Amino acid sequence: MKTRLTLKYPSFYLSMALLATVLTLCVAIFVKQLGLRKAEIENTLASRHALVVRLIEMQRDRLAVMRSLLLQAYQVSPQQDKAFAGYQLTQHSEWNIWDMQPEAQPAIGQLTGLGKWADASQQEMVAALNMDAQLQATLGHDLEVAKLYYQSASQFVYTAPASSVTQFRFKPALYKKAFWQAALPAANPTRHMVLAGPHQDLVGKGRLLTFALPVYHQIPLLGQDKFLGVVALDISMTTLDQVMQLGQATGASMLLSTYPNHDKTNLPPSLSLSPTAWQQDATGQFWLGSPVLADQWWLAHQVTPSALYLAAARDSVPAWLSIILLALLAVLGWHFKAALATISHLTHYDALTQLLNRRGFYDRVATALALSRRNQLAVAVLMMEIDFSRDIHDRYGHAEAEAVLQQLSTNMLSAMRPVDVVCRWGGEQFVLVMLLHYGDNALHAAERIRQAAQSVYIQPGHQPVHLSGGLVMLQDDEAIDAAIQRADLLLQQAKQQGRNRIVNDSVAEILPFKYA
């Protein structure tokens, strides 16, 4: 026995398949946009990193020039009286400091130190004042530089531009500053530039970042170097903030200090030397990082998962909308096609029996006739009608009559070949068009279909149902309607001859046949 498997709810499964496809595409697009967002952050961070490194290199160059000027002047035997000419020295006993500023011209830099003047290292002070001309040019052209200074281990500091002692003066606390502590010989044996901050400026210039370079004087006779102090400069954090806001990147870039920890495996948070290696901390935040100054400072970028995913989702919206729109159009198209198929079926098939109606018959029979001409097949036209159909209605009711008609139609369809055409002509009448090879027994074929079709019994009582028919052969150049009319006349003869039989015309080949 053959079993046919069919989907009970095809529209449901198609909808689920379409939904799964849409979701898969949406997820794939989101993943792609997430990757593009990360790549955008990586590229932006690389650009910012290059600018920050360039900014740091510029400060290193400035400090190297300052240190060179200081050491050149320090190594020359100073003419102290000439060097200090035009400067006024003031002792401030209330603060236990001294301060020296120019008497006539506007001050470029100022010297201020602890205790009394005699206690200070005058050779270093002359060397510091020797930087005035260079620092004046730097302050005049490089607007990002807020302050330049030399802080000596000999308890004094030179700062430019100059300010009053009420705004800035020497304090022992200067030696506790982070940049000084990081530049000391014990903390900085390689003598590299150090970076500290940001911190709030004492004279109201906002948040500043300090760059400092240690200064050593070589003593040839002793074969060793003497630590003198540090040259340093402050730049406004506004400049650095502008650099770190260039480009488009979800999240925020920042400078992270790892001093004094030089262990790359324990950076706060855990960062990788690769600028494209994403890390995730214990709180779930994503990080990227690149070193900008030895092992002391990193340029890091931090973004929350929610911000990253939200940005990727926003980028995906246009593609999502397109996919959803296409899916909706596909659904509407599918429903429209199904509606057209339903309408076509309703206009071509009989609703009760699912046989072709007259419209469907004429559409289908045209194809059958063309096939018969192409393959030189004979065409037999059979019209059948249920015997005593009105009695069935009257005795057993409309519902039982319809059930008989449905079962009879089903049996007829099962007995026919795919090339044959069957139609409910009207009421309890049927028209069949059969394609036969010349020499085939048309009556035999017609009787086989009639016997199969009437294998129906009326309930209750198990009463048999019979069919009568008229069979003709379509003549050359004869219209199908003319053949149907001839078959109808023979059908009436079959009724007159006692029903439950087929009457054929003289053209149909009659061979001895007995239905088994």
SS3 117: helix
Contact 503, 490 (CB under 8 A): yes
Listed in sequence order, the residues at least 6 apart from 26 whose beta carbon sits closer than 8 Å to its beta carbon are: 316, 320, 323
Task: Enter the pTM of the model.
Answer: 0.61
Q: What's at 234, amino acid-wise? A: D
Q: At what angle do helices 122-129 and 10-75 cross, to 10 degrees?
A: 120
Kind of pairing between the strands at 467-473 and 502-504: parallel
For residue 254, the model assigns a pLDDT of 83
Distance of alpha carbon 51 from alpha carbon 243, whole angstroms: 7
Contact 131, 145 (CB under 8 A): no
Segments of 83-206 assigned E as strands: 87-92, 97-102, 110-114, 145-152, 156-160, 194-200
For residue 143, the model assigns a pLDDT of 67
Distance of alpha carbon 41 from alpha carbon 249, whole angstroms: 5
**Cα–chain-centroid distance for residue 144?**
41
Distance of alpha carbon 92 from alpha carbon 81, whole angstroms: 22
Average pLDDT, consecutive stretches of 10 residues, N- to C-terminus, the chain (516 residues):
44 79 89 89 88 88 89 72 72 88 71 78 81 72 79 89 80 89 90 84 72 88 83 86 83 76 50 73 84 78 89 87 84 78 80 90 92 92 92 86 91 91 92 89 92 87 89 92 95 93 74 35
Per-residue buried b or exposed e for 27-57, using 16+ beta carbons within 10 Å of the residue's own CB: eebbeebbeebbebbbebbbebbebbeebbe
For residue 42, the model assigns a pLDDT of 87
Distance of alpha carbon 100 from alpha carbon 88, whole angstroms: 5
Q: At what angle do helices 398-415 and 389-396 cross, to 10 degrees?
A: 140
Contact 67, 231 (CB under 8 A): yes
Contact 187, 181 (CB under 8 A): yes
